[in-house]
Amino acid sequence: MKVACIGAGSWGTAVARLLALNGHVTWLWAHSESTAGYINEHHKNPRYLVDCELPQNIIATSHLKDCLDAANALVFVVPSAHLRSVAQECSQFVRENIPAVVLTKGIENKTGKLMIDVVLDELPTCKEIACLSGPNHAEEVSRDLPSAAVVACKDPDRAIFFRDLFHAESFRVYVSDDPIGVEICAAAKNVIAIACGISRGFGTGDNTAALLMTRGLAEMSRLVNAYGGKAITCMGLAGMGDLIATCTSSHSRNAAFGRAFAEGESLEHYCERTHMVVEGALACISIREAAKKLNVDVPIADAVWNLLYGGFSFDDVFESLVQRTPKDEFYGLA
């Protein structure tokens, strides 16, 4: 099949390689014409995963029309802040009811919409859009280290279609009927990872990291429940699996940013230095807004927002968390 992979960052590059190795002609859309040209000439991405050799059946382009023409499947892997505008650009070239899957992780600011709903707004003829998430760092997937993900869609046939598209010997794919739960886990775990990184940067230990991760999992579960998803999804690959990887791995840009922030580096400088988007820094804004509308308690997301945008000190935020009155461990869940 011809697969259109929209986004040539580190994850998009790793995904394109995976699809190409599965035998699909993979068209990889890059925003920069020079990046697309370099990939076609050298079969490497000049900016991300620079040592990763890309298969010959990856064709890079900076033209969405060429990428989408006669495509059998559509894969979105662009940063959350740009997903709506890119999907809108795609709308004039996308055939009706093309199978589409979103790998972008986040919740849209102001609207509180999940990434699949953002795409559906711009591509209404796609009808049932799937999402794929899991504990997958691009650096390891690109080296064929054993990994797994879950693909979720309300249409079971569409979920199976994408399971078969992505599944490989080193990349196991499971299916779910809970895209809401998968999407919220994908966004919320990045916020918890920033909290863990900041905490580590200020000298706390493993106990504190475990505390943040488990209470973060409960926080994610309350939000999933309020959105109408299944809290049990938080115990799977998109929830606990991705939370562990993102909070503990040396590859995690969210945890790494948290450490850098604790050492005095600003969000803007970190993004400029690493050429990476810190999705958790965006997600904490939208999660906080959504939680207020849904009356959901999200103390860790609030704490991250207070540190990044509210001008609070670490000592003030830490004190506010530890002085909270303990509740039932799984409060806020139906």
CA distance 331 to 152: 26
**Mutual orientation of helices 299-308 and 179-201 as an angle, nearest 10°?**
50
Instruction: Compute φ and ψ for 115, nearest 5 degrees.
Output: -65, -35
Instruction: Compute φ and ψ for 142, nearest 5 degrees.
Output: -70, -15
CA distance 247 to 137: 12
CA distance 219 to 238: 14
Q: How many CB atoms lie within 10 A of CB 168?
A: 14
Question: How many alpha carbons fall within 13 Å on the CB side of residue 285?
Answer: 13
Which residues does the annotation mark as catalytic? Answer: 189
